[in-house]
Amino acid sequence: MLKFVGFAFAAAAIGLIGVAGFSAWYLHNLNKDLPDYQQLAEYAPPVTTRVYAGDGSLVAEFARERRLFVPIEAMPDHVKYAFVSAEDKSFYDHAGLDFRGLVRAQISNIGNVLRGRRLEGGSTITQQVAKNFLLTSEQKVERKLREMLIARKMEQTFTKDHILELYLNEIYLGNRSYGVAAAALNYFDKSLDELTIAEASYLAAITKGPSNYHPIDNEARAVERRNWVIGRLAEDGRITPEEAEEAQAQPLGAQIAPPLGARDWTMEYFAEEVRKQIVELYGVEALYDGGLAVRTTVDPHLQKQAGEALRRWLVAYDERHGWRGPISTMPEVPGEWAEPFSELVDDLKNSRKISDDMAPWRAALVLSADAKEARIGFPDGETAIIPLDLMRWAREYISANNLGKEVTSAAAVLKPGDVVYAEKYEAATLPKPEGAAEDAAAKPTPENAYALRQTPAVNGGLIAIDPHTGRVLAMVGGFSFQMSEFNRAVQAQRQPGSAFKPFVYSVALDNGYTPSSTVLDAPFVAPGVDSWYKPGNYIEGRFYGLSTLRLGIEQSRNTMTARLAQDLGIGRIMDYVDRFELSDSLPRELAISLGAAETTVMRITAGYSVFVNGGKSVEPVIIDRIQDRTGKTIYKRDTRECQGCNTDFWSGQSEPQLTDEREQVMDPRTAYQITSILEGVVRRGTAAGAVGRKTDKPLAGKTGTTNDYKDAWFVGFAPDLAAGVYVGFDMPQTLGQGEAGGSVAAPIFADFMVEALKDKAGIPFRVPSGVRLVRVNARTGKPAGAGDTNVILEAFKAEDDPNSSRSLEDDYTLDPLSAAPQAQDNEEDLNGLY
């Protein structure tokens, strides 16, 4: 027996020695092949690039992973301790491994195996850092051993605070959030130092499984888990029992952040332009991983007003031209329609026929329709109605100039299975019938009534600029970015029509003409490229004789503008306009005087800014400053040095003066003369109805419309704000007879400017030195007599003689009745550009 026991003991000892030797050999080999943990000393994770408005509010985020890096010193204690208490309460005491926790986890795993649940690892925070940064998540013994070896080495190399900093900045917390700082913003729209104990505890609660504690789908479980973390904080002595009780009583209050990109539908086109410029400056990697802080020029209030104004009037134009039919149709409407309709809506979103940025419009399925109303349903199963009075606009679209018969039945417009847009009708009453008396009673709005809507086929762009600095304060490139990313404010090259005329008249004012100079408005013929060039006025066949330059712009006279351009010479006009950088390739044709050259909304608005800022060049900019992840400024638009700006003490010195480095591209007196004339366009001219009657604030601008009403423009300004609007089809076609700049684009400009200037003082346009304001007859331009009633103040340069203004009366060209080609079928023969 003793021999047997001795033999067994020897065998066991040899076995233990063998196991120990094998283990040492195995661990030695694992240790040789460990990843380099020293790289964690210089942790520089991919960080979200954030784009800010001029007022500091967040505009957009760009990243592959939504992450913000915050050093451990800047993290509040209750945030750090919430994670320590929830994940590794002995973190500050162990040396990387918690053997007690490891044993406890293995005991729990017995039950997890029986229940088919995921196994627990008993990992410390240090082990989790090792796994997340250097290893995989596979559940193998070898991976676990490697994790433990790395954890021990990390504890010997790094401080506890550095390890915790790595953990809190790397951990995934759901809602596209990597790290606690990103999670704080995405769930609570707060920075870390603003988080309450309850909010920090929720973030610590979701580390085990964000989807299990979703703040909306699993709110009850989320609150329970959060309260457990709060209890652990109190148990560990990190907070008082009173603080714990108060925190546990608070509602969850978490939300789901919007997707990466623009934070608001009105900002989408602007954010995309910013994205393009950052990529051009620094590349894709810097944009998505560099953690740049980009301060832009946009004004959120103006941007919102611009987006809403453009949408409102595009819808108004579209509804004037009738109903083009539903977005799509379901062949049959089943009894349980909500789920298949929701699937259809997802398909339509993927094909860009429906988009989320059209809210408050909602995709709706027509369930039934009769004479009085259509019953509709939404993807969430909710139902509503579209009463007949809220779809009377939906006459059948036949062409831009023709509509179908009046709508007298809802069933004539909609049928079951149609997929349409609907908007909740918020007014207290339905619209009054067309032609009803002002005091006529309107019908009450039916409960849960929606109005029928359709995505406009027409589109447009609006841009607003600070005319003194070129800072772009608002940019809207179309009706819906998700439906079309083409930015019509900066990418659409279209003819501006009469919106180009002020540049021609500027050349005249710099070459001997005054605003009171007269030019003959009569039939005009000149040699063209392929035939005779014969422009016409807005009203075909109507001419007005001798007219002042002011009247030429105020009433948008085409033939007198062409005659004036002929006198000035097309070469002189082209050289002059090149200073404004309106177009990259101006055709050497007389037709450019009426706006036949292509330009963009941004370019022509910048050109108009020169008129109001005293003749200084303007370069539109959308980015003011860019900082890297450390806060170092790596780009700034304004590179001027301010001598004396950083003086520590005031000792009677004068305030610093910044140099004005803008180029003087036109005489400031000429600039004011054009400004004064364009103010007359708004007060008395082609924009008086659409713009002048909407506000008493000083405004100036010019309408523009092209052949066959294909493009509608309005470009104008207040003393400190310039804006341009374009409306047209992406594939050029007529907007319809009479759909000119004054009725299509000018109302958008007016709505935007009224809101933009609502709280601003009515500052008059600034008059430069060297300008005399003289009372003249508005029609003739001659100095006013005692009995004249139609009197205005006209701007003359100091050397001009108001009593002796130049007159251009000669026809210069051939008799149009005898010398023009006899057989022509050219649309230029009709009415030209106006």
Q: How far is CA 61 from the centre of its chain?
A: 12
Q: Helices 77-87 and 197-205 meet at what angle, rounded to 10?
A: 30
Q: Tokens 């054009």 sit at which residue?
A: 674
- Separation between Cα atoms, residue 430 and residue 477, nearest integer Å: 32
Q: Tokens 């979200």 sit at which residue?
A: 48
- Separation between Cα atoms, residue 112 and residue 109, nearest integer Å: 5
Of 61, 65, 85, 87, catalytic: 87
87 classed as catalytic:
yes
Query: 807 Cβ partners below 8 Å, 6+ apart?
Result: 517, 518, 519, 546
Q: What is the dihedral of CA 180, 99, 109, 206, to 10 degrees?
A: -10
Amino acid letter, 161: D
Q: Which residues pair with 293 in a beta bridge?
A: 50, 627
Q: Helices 125-134 and 77-87 meet at what angle, rounded to 10?
A: 90
Q: How far is CA 19 from the centre of its chain?
A: 67
Of 123, 498, 556, 743, catalytic: 498
- Separation between Cα atoms, residue 197 and residue 126, nearest integer Å: 24
498 classed as catalytic:
yes
Using alpha carbons, select from 792, 768, 771 the residue that is nearest to residue 780: 792
Whether 541 and 557 have beta carbons less than 8 Å apart is answered as: no
Q: List own/partner pairs for 338-343 with CB under 8 A and 24 or more apart.
A: 338/377, 338/379, 338/380, 338/381, 341/365, 341/377, 341/379, 341/419, 342/379, 342/380
Q: Helices 219-235 and 241-248 meet at what angle, rounded to 10?
A: 180
Three-state secondary structure call for residue 548: strand
> Is the C-alpha dihedral spanning 291, 296, 298, 299 positive or negative?
positive
Tell me how many helices (H) and strands (E) the chain has: 22, 28
Two tokens, residue 833: 């550009």
User: Catalytic residue positions?
Assistant: 87, 498
